[in-house]
Structure 1
Amino acid sequence: MTGNRAAAAAGVAGTSRTFFAAAHVVADPHADVSPDGPAVLDWDATLAFRRHLWSHGLGVAEAMDTAQRGMGLDPEGARELIRRSAAEARAVGGQLACGVGTDQLATPPADPEGPPAPAGLSAVRAAYEEQLELVEGCGAQPILMASRDLAARARGPQDYAEVYGELLRQASGPVILHWLGPMFDPALTGYWGSTDLDEATDTFLEILSAHPDKVDGVKISLLDAGRETDLRRRLPEGVRCYTGDDFHYPELIAGDAEGFSHALLGVFDPLAPLAAQALRSLDAGDVPGFRAVLDRTVPLARHLFEPPTRFYKTGVVLLAWLAGHQDHFTMVGGLQSARSLTHLRRAHQLAEELGLFPDPDLAQARMTRLLSVHGVGS
């Protein structure tokens, strides 16, 4: 233990970049639910964590994959999460963007004898529209998430252009488009109509170019810094790039002579104090200071997001528990068991070296308790 502590930053949004932290949800540990049953959340702790992120001046990206969307958080739970977070954002003046998806199509009907979920692109579009109406009605910025249902039904690039084109025409204001790579969700393999990323990128850019006034920015989660930089340089005028690359974010945010990325990152959930500190340096024009803060967080990020990447949420929630943001290490769907004890112990060590724990003794005691429960010495 080093005893280091990350310095808190004033809760003022950055001026040079927009930072969103994709926030995790806190399960109710007392709920009697099965791993595949409807999610039951501890709403007080879940909303308190969002206030923590806002207190550092970060925006909150709600109901994204970090919130276990599609990995335990059911559609009704996501809707309630969006409604509650939107009310909280209004109360504290926090910036909020919310995921718009189609996950209700994957939910079995309450009546097993009832009609099956509708098929085809029209069903996908209707599901998107239902969630888009909810998010816009709550006053939040929509993030059009990649859809497993669209990936399963689309026959080629034209189907993506049809669905997204109609959604963008309907949107009342600029949205964020989300390209989530298969390392985060294998069901999204071949998104935009091709497994060839060059062809997929061309389709993606064609959709953007047809509706640039309806797109605030794009979130790119491909863990490929070169590809993101190339795509960023090809975006229509006025469309921003939000990096979702939890491996290369310092260099992508810092940018180069031809531009830079903003950020919408799951790793900013545990890194909020340091992300805010780095952003203050960037706002002051101190790029070396920005890199000095964020570069040293990359080993922790790469550890949390190591393959299979989609289970990064387990490490994120562990760190929230160790930092005192919640009083248990229980996750929706029992996902706390998705990483090994060795992985979790290393996450604790890397986070402690960064000073991410307000009370290092508490973090050490909780980690020791977790290991001892499993018969492992610290």
Structure 2
Amino acid sequence: MNCQQNINQGQSQEENNGVDCQLNQLPTSLRVEQSNQQENENQRFDAFEEFGVNKKIFSQIIKEQMNLDVCYEDIEKLESLSLNIDKIDYVNQYIYTFKVANTLSYLKSLKLIINLTTSFPQEFISKLNKQISFLYQISNLDVQLNIQKNTVIQEYLDQFSLAISNSMNLQSLNFSVESQGSNIEPLNLTSFLKCLNKLQNLSSLSLIFRNFAKFQNQIKIFGREFKEIKNLKNLKLYFYPPQDKLDLALMFQQLEVQNKLVQLSLGFEFGNIESKGIEVIMTYLQKLPCLRHLAIQIRDCRLGYQGGQAFKDGFQSLQNLEKLSLTLKNSYMGEKGYQLVSEGFSYLLKLKQLEIITEDNIGSDYYEYLTSTIPKLKHLLIVRFAFHCYLQKKVFQRSMRSIRLVSIYKN
């Protein structure tokens, strides 16, 4: 029921409940039947007052961020919600989303982008996590945290772990933390990792940590904590600086084999992995019989030709791979290394889609080696390359004449 009809019936929500009634173009799926009882309306109104929520501002937030014109009583029917929390003046408005009784009982998908600064109220994190724990129907959760200098993230991580530990319907979790400062304390991942073991229906997991100090050696036991996640099919792990090279190698040595894993994405940066680490990772991949999609992103690492040999040896055991994305940015392997990578492509007999991205001006000869075996892949339909210079693009075009669908673009 839209707001204009309420006005015509002499029950102006603008007078009674302070709702912005100019938002009158509601999608059918979000409309609330006129049979709502006045008692329920009063309960919502009381909740607004208790938590200091400005109803007009909150409706405007939903309108701006989700492109929905929605009155506050219609929020309870939402199944998907995305909020970018970056304005301190709106904190109480966001808290309403999680505080009003039964407001989000239908919610299945939630995305939060939170910019935490020292000016945020101390109770904000605990309130937010507490209310997430009541979203029993949630199946898709995406939380992206941008942490400013001197902001403590450990408290949030521990509380977030408790909040999702009872989310038995959770199927997809994307958790990303990025530090903007240099004095961030090391993270202890113990409670977070143990929480993941309880999520029996979790099939897709993405964890991204940027600009953090060592996780107090917790990464060494990281892999072992995955052993209870039986249905994991899609895993994305991105660890950005500064991490210890040996720690990353140990993580994959301890990582429990996920027999159902179909899609795997890995990212490393700023020298936190080298040829030995690539060898360990590729050895682990050989234990994934169902793996079909693989994405590896390596930046600012000197791999040497040994890195190329590790890729070649690993590809030899991935003959069921259908999609491969390989990003090598400022990660020099030398002429021999690129040649070995290309030779490794020849083992991927079922490959249908290939993407190679580089920001390196590695020279036309190296690209000749890198692309020489690609035309031999009979099932390959789509090739995407990102180039650093026009010369590399020209060389690639010459070697890809036999491929039916080719997408070429420049960084």
TM-score class, shorter-chain normalisation, is 0.3 to 0.5
TM-score by length of 1: 0.35
Q: Which has the higher helix share?
A: 1
